[in-house]
Amino acid sequence: MKTPTRSVLVITESPKPFAMAMSLLRAEGYQVTFTTGEHLASDVENVPAMVISELAMPDIDGLKICRRLRRDKRMQQTPIMLVGDLSAYSSIVADGMRCGASAYVQKPFTFAAMASRVMEMIDSPPVRNAWA
């Protein structure tokens, strides 16, 4: 299936923390879709240009989502950004790299920094494991 050039799939239990950053992306012409981990199909129908997944969710964690997406051949080169709490940073970096995540952003994040990072990851050549 064809990859939309500037689409972002955000997997979270609550879109509220991401809303302002995603509004900035929409203003720049990006298509943004929200879903929960529970409602994420095992096979993503439309391959996004990038996936942002929250780490801590009640039904499934971001690492499991990352592993699931990486098993899909169409998603193997898609940048995946994990977003998590400051307290989880040290152990998550190694775990995220092992499961195939491209980046990790700590909460709290600034809206402009998040939007800028997403634009950079989509519009620049692919880089795996560009941890911040």
The residue with greater pLDDT, 12 or 4, is: 12
Taken in order 109, 112, 116, 122, the sign of the CA dihedral is positive
pLDDT at 60: 85
Nearest to 48 by CA among 129, 108, 102, 110: 102
Q: What is the mean pLDDT of residues 65-69?
A: 91
Task: Name the pTM for this structure.
Answer: 0.84
Here the tokens at position 17 are 């923390």
- Residue-averaged pLDDT of the chain: 81
